[in-house]
Amino acid sequence: MMTQPIKMNLLITILSLLLSLLTTSQAASSTINTKLYKNLCKGREPIADNDKRAHAIIKTSVEASTSSSIASRDSPQHKATCWMIYDDPRKVDPRGNKAKYLERYALVTFYVNTKGPGWSRSDHWLTKEDECDWYGVTCTRPLLGLNKRVTRLDLSFNKVEG
């Protein structure tokens, strides 16, 4: 059985390690040169250097996935990133609410990866509607000014494959 001082020292060591990893991760992710991705989406207008939203999308997508998955034109992550930059009618911007952006990005990636256009039902998917209104998506109710969060995805019997 651990004594109290040993538990406290172990906790401090773990917290220090986590803080160190978080700081290193943030420093590394902040150095992503998004200008290298200006021709990311083939057949689309190059991303302008001053398009802060598009560069924030690229940076956040690379952080959430990997640079190779974003650069690979056949990957769901690449297709979702390009959709978020050019086609998302809601124009979600990770600089405003990163968590909300990541939920939408994850759902779009899922949709692309599981052949969403072939589903039995895909009501409101990839529309201007909030992702909480997309068929099969359940979200929490916002409390005290907090944002809704995706809590469940139920696409049973919906021809989801992949």
Please check whether residue 11 is in contact with residue 4, taking contact to mean a CB–CB distance below 8 angstroms: no
Q: So where are the chain's domains?
A: 33-153
The string of pLDDT tens digits covering residues 15-54 is 555 544 444 444 444 588 899 999 999 999 999 999 999 9
The string of pLDDT tens digits covering residues 103-130 is 999 999 999 999 999 999 999 999 999 9
DSSP 84: I
Is the whole model's pTM more than 0.85, yes or no? no
Please check whether residue 132 is in contact with residue 100, taking contact to mean a CB–CB distance below 8 angstroms: no
- Residue 99 CA, distance from chain mean position: 8
Q: Rounded CA gap, 149 and 158, in Å? A: 23
